């Protein structure tokens, strides 16, 4: 497995874990946004620009959800 594949695996795994834990803390929403941004970078680096673009949109949506989420 090369470095780019490892990076992509990390990004997608982080997205899954953070998404599953979002109900526990609003900070997991922020972590999800960050991991979506990493997924976007991965998509663009590997040449799958549609994946990179969609992940960038998801990152923006998650940032907005974090910003508007009530503190817990």
Of 41, 30, 31, 36, the closest CA to residue 3 belongs to 41
Inter-residue contact 38 to 17 (CB < 8 Å) = no
- Give the residue-averaged pLDDT of 44-57: 96
Q: Please determine, for residue 51, whether its predicted confidence score (pLDDT) is greater than 80.
A: yes
* Residue found under tokens 């998801």: 58
Reported as a pLDDT band with limits 50, 70 and 90, residue 43 is very high
pLDDT at 72: 72
Q: How far apart are CA 24 and CA 20, in angstroms?
A: 9
């Amino acid at each position: 497995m090369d470095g780019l594949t490892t990076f992509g695996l990390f990004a997608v795994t982080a997205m899954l874990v953070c998404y599953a834990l979002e109900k526990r803390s609003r900070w997991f929403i922020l972590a999800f946004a960050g991991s979506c941004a990493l997924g976007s970078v991965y998509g663009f680096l590997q040449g799958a620009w549609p994946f990179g673009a969609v992940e960038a949109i998801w990152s923006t949506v998650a940032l907005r959800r974090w910003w508007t989420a009530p503190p817990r």
